[in-house]
Amino acid sequence: MKLESYQQIKDDRLTHRGYDYERIAQEYQTPLYIFDEPSFIERVKGYRDQFQSEVFETEILYASKALLTKEIARLVARLDIGQDVVSAGEIYAGQAGGIDAKRMYFHGNNKTDQELLYAIKNGVGTIVLDNQSEAHRLNHLIQQSNEGHIQKVLLRVNPGIEASTHEYILTATNDSKFGENIHDSEIFMVISEIAALSHLNLVGFHSHIGSQIFEADSFLKASESLIDFAQKVMEQTALKITELNFGGGFGVYYTEEDQPFDVIDYLPRFVKQIEKAIQEAKLPIEKVAIEPGRSLVNASGSTLYRVGDLKQTLSGKHYLFVDGGMTDNIRPALYQAKYEAALVNKITDSAKASYTIAGKACESGDKIIESIMLPEATPGDLLLVNGTGAYNFTMASNYNYIPRPAMIHVTEETIKLTVKRDTLDDLVRNQL
């Protein structure tokens, strides 16, 4: 397993900033989400400081679907970046951690009336319309509830860019459920209609081409395509476009198969390319935003499991069972995501056997890793899976009435519990 900068080997055991994983497991139990705060803070500051322009205002919007807790929201607020939200729940959790609603961008392809009203009531700064029908619905809702209000909106458009990533996290193909397609013959009419709605102030466009994208070129193509489209809109309609939002999707390392580019290094070049394209297109752009999620949090998160039973099948497969699984990490079952792992108490032992790491849920597909070489494992070992910061906690479930794990943050000075483990009572709390 590739170690992170905060993981060191001490006396033949893996530690997190000097904390022995066995001590962590004894104090907080397993399975456990572990989040390294300093590496997250450093990454956010790197993105924020490198995504700067003298031509337009820039903003990093943290895509909080990747990982959102009150403590993460507190960090986001403190680090002075905005938040990409997709539900009333994410607005609520963001505000609970102190994020200013004005800095929220509310996305989603089927926001309910209640959610839209909730966003307006709470002062969400920007609503990113998914489609024409939503625009009319939002305008009508404001008319009925808050006559004086004019809501700043962007329209999500789909540039039809095919980036190489898993089908489920690809969002901008012509068949995607997200956004209005820029190649639709009626698109300019649709935009003119939205721009004419009296309670909406349409200032620009958003596009997000997918997740876990490894070619910097795909972002460049998508930005050029959006800028080119914005220029056409200005020629064909009366709309003045002042804001563009290029979404997130920067790829991260999970296994040796992944070769992500250095985003912090790339951002200044990306800004220069956007500046040039905007100047050539003579667009009056005042603000440009990006929405990274996974690339900000993933490498700061890991999951610690206790090894339970081991089993060899008739055909010779070696199963290593852990005390969590698809309920805390659905990604392998959902889209064949791959991970690396290590036995932290045997970190210097040489790998001897190939194991299939499986969880405890009643599903054959409940596997974290299909095949990994590890030192000989015994019940009671501790297995650490790295790169679980994004889309693990937020996609967790209580399938089989398995309590969701706790989360701790490790800082330079201390460890703090940020999410309590579900109790059995929590599992039936809402049941009458």
SS3 of the chain: helix, strand, coil, percent, to 5: 35, 25, 40
Of the residues 362, 424, 425, 430, which is catalytic?
362
Q: Which residues bind ligand PLP (CB under 6 A)?
A: 63, 66, 84, 107, 171, 208, 211, 247-250, 291-295, 390
Least gap, CB of 260 to ligand PLP (angstroms): 11
Q: Give the separation between CA 136 and CA 267, rounded to whole angstroms.
A: 36
Check if 64 is active-site: no
248 vs 359, beta carbon nearer ligand PLP: 248
CB distance 283 to 234 below 8 Å? yes
3-state class (DSSP) for residue 177: coil
Output the smallest distance, CB 171 to ligand PLP, in A. Answer: 6
Nearer to ligand PLP, 82 or 359 (CB): 82
Helix (H) / strand (E) element for 41: namely helix 37-50
Contacts of 146 (CB under 8 A, 6+ apart): 120
Q: Which is nearer to ligand PLP, 21 or 106 (CB)?
A: 106
Radius of gyration of the chain (CA): 23
Give CA 51 to chain center in angstroms.
18
Nearest CB to ligand PLP, comparing residues 112 and 423: 112
Choice between 59 and 381, CB closer to ligand PLP: 59
Strands (E), 235-366: 243-245, 287-290, 301-312, 318-322, 341-343, 353-358
Nearest approach in angstroms of CB 108 to ligand PLP is 9
CB of 15 to ligand PLP, least distance (A): 29
The distance of closest approach from Cβ of residue 261 to ligand PLP in the complex, given in angstroms and rounded to an integer, is: 14
In the block, residue with structure tokens 């309910």: 112
Distances (CA, A) of 179 to 126, 156, 187, 234, 342: 16, 5, 11, 19, 41
Q: Just list the catalytic residues.
A: 362
